[in-house]
Structure 1
């Protein structure tokens, strides 16, 4: 991209300063009229590139809470503690493995014990705390234990989630309540538990695993999509409160949007995903992007899928509906599966 830009600028300068009577323009085998059109197109290309670049810089600046330059010296990875919900299996386990590769101590909140692989990989850097994250009392109890064992966590990764494969009419009240409690309400409990210490130290990073389902509601997984849309609003509001209520724009916030990922969440619907030729990510790739964001000290959104997904709502209504219709038969079974 940079080489192409340098070439385009150089070419434009040459075409602008070299008189048309010289042999140079003939090297392009263009008539004077076509040469004028070519130069005009080249100018528009450069203008659009500059606009795109400025937009990218402003977006990164906004994502960073209008802080132009961070003090990365505030982070010492071997002294940091990360809380990871749903960290025993799947994406969460991969996140834990990458965190400890940097020397970060990981406190895993889960209802399932650590896998043997994670136990052997973690050595003294991973500690399991059995915790029902849908209970504010249980989250507080786990928080007290973590602070007693390690001190105050500076990183919170809300990763735990479940998915229902049910229609609106078929989903039971119990399943509906559970999916909202696990996928959305629990984020309030963990943030309420661990954010105060981050505010006191003016340092922290809160990350949540959402989904591409936040951008489009699909038949058979409406409740799941609703919980992920809710996370978008939660992170937008959290970021605003950190800046304007608690005066702590230094605290990072990240929301992650993986596409279909090979975890227990998609086992029941994998054939449907394959029927629309949608890509399926490896949990390790998702985890790598998540931990890289933390190590780089960045806030913002991580879209792990088609970049156009975030702009679906800006498309014409007929095109939005075409996309939803195309995906309508991905989720046709009835199931409830957990993803860690």
Structure 2
């Protein structure tokens, strides 16, 4: 039973139910709870019910605004989904689940796919370095010629390192930013026009809570994830006001520490700090549920990390306290 339904039912029963219904219940619980305590329960249930309803309405309103108050249909047997960074981690698992469902999937990565994913007849892989703009343009043209225009983009490609800023090589920083952020701009330039023309499409960006809460060793990575937030927000505005394409969905996913190869360098520090790392499958599940819903939104996983989105409005001392406590740096780097 949902919290609003439970608390609302208790409040209404205690305050407004006819006495012939109330009395048998009050008689039964009388030996265990005083009248004053029962009154407190009624007040608490009333407040919880009201707050739950306000929270629910707020979520519903955000949901409708994020999707421009319009409906659209997605036929996953006919959509063409393009997933970047599909050779491991999030991209690999998402591509595999899409393929299992029967959806046609285009995958892009600088490495080959694992044999199990390559075996699907509805998966078509293009091995390309996403920081190679000329190669990416040629690959995009080839995809359109061979399969048509993708209707769904999953912008997932990303790399990371935990090296402090002054120990990072400039070439490594540039490479990371090119892959993690600039490639997303390139993908949109290549594939968004067809979505705008049809007023149908879905753009899902896999970001990170680091986009709101960066820390030692993550200056370049955090920069790209913050940049994805700005890209997502601006893209939404331009789709609505410039292109009048109000049915194109946009989602941005902010994940916490998830067990993928990208966090191997952080494992020691995370364990020392007692921080949890989530199984990949547990994080991908709500992402896929959102994708299949055909609606766009901002999704933070796990949900209790939702506070990070508002942290920049906190007093500075409180922000730094949280960063210090969550910082996985151990004094080692590579």
Name the residue aligned to 1:170: 167
Matches within 5 A, 1:239-318: 239-305=236-302, 306-318=305-317
Name the residue aligned to 1:30: 35
Give the CA deviation at 1:39.
4.1
CA RMSD, 1 decimal: 2.3
Give the CA deviation at 1:200.
1.1
Name the residue aligned to 2:206: 209
Give the CA deviation at 1:88.
1.4
Give the CA deviation at 1:221.
1.2
The question of 1:230 aligning with 2:231 is answered no
Q: Is the contact between residue 216 and residue 324 of structure 1 (CA under 8 Å) also seen in structure 2?
A: yes
State the TM-score, normalizing by the size of structure 2: 0.89
* Cα gap change, 1:319 to 1:127, in 2 (>3 Å): same
The question of 1:57 aligning with 2:60 is answered yes
Q: Is the contact between residue 3 and residue 49 of structure 2 (CA under 8 Å) also seen in structure 1?
A: no
- Which runs of no fewer than 5 residues in structure 2 stay unpaired? none
Give the CA deviation at 1:288.
2.9
The question of 1:83 aligning with 2:114 is answered no
Aligned residue for 2:235, secondary structure, equals helix
Give the CA deviation at 1:38.
4.8
Q: Is the contact between residue 219 and residue 331 of structure 1 (CA under 8 Å) also seen in structure 2?
A: no
Between the aligned partners of 2:57 and 2:165, the Cα distance in structure 1 is: 44
2:125 aligned residue (117, 123, 128): 128
Between the aligned partners of 2:330 and 2:145, the Cα distance in structure 1 is: 44
Aligned length: 325
Matches within 5 A, 1:38-57: 38-57=41-60
State the TM-score, normalizing by the size of structure 1: 0.88
Give the CA deviation at 1:103.
1.4
Name the residue aligned to 2:72: 71
The question of 1:218 aligning with 2:221 is answered no
Deviations 1:54-108 (A, max 9, x none): 11111111221232xx232xx3222221111111122211111011122111111
**Range that drifts further, 197-206 or 323-332:** 323-332
Q: Is the contact between residue 72 and residue 294 of structure 2 (CA under 8 Å) also seen in structure 1?
A: no
